[in-house]
Amino acid sequence: MMMHMTFFWGSNTQILFSGWPGIRTGMYVLALIAVFMLAFMVEGISHSRLTKSGSIHHVTAGLVQTLLHALRVGLAYLVMLAIMSFNGGVFLAAVAGHSLGFFLFGSRVFNKNPTTVPAAKTSDLTPMSC
Residue 92: what pLDDT? Answer: 98
* Residue 127: partners with Cβ closer than 8 Å, 6 or more residues away: 46
116 inside domain: no
Q: Is the pLDDT of residue 116 over 60?
A: no
8 inside domain: no
130 inside domain: no
Q: Is the pLDDT of residue 127 over 80?
A: no
75 inside domain: yes
Contact (CB, 8 A) for 61 and 49: no
Q: What DSSP element (H or E) covers 13?
A: strand 13-14
Q: Residue type for 5, please?
A: M
7 inside domain: no
Residue 84: what pLDDT? Answer: 94
Overall number of domains in the chain? 1
Structural domain that includes position 75: 36-105
Q: Residue type for 30, please?
A: L
51 inside domain: yes
Q: Can you tell me the distance from the alpha carbon of 67 to that of 73, in angstroms, rounded to the nearest whole number?
A: 10
Going by pLDDT thresholds of 50, 70 and 90, the confidence category of residue 50 is confident
H helices present in the chain, as ranges: 25-46, 58-83, 88-105
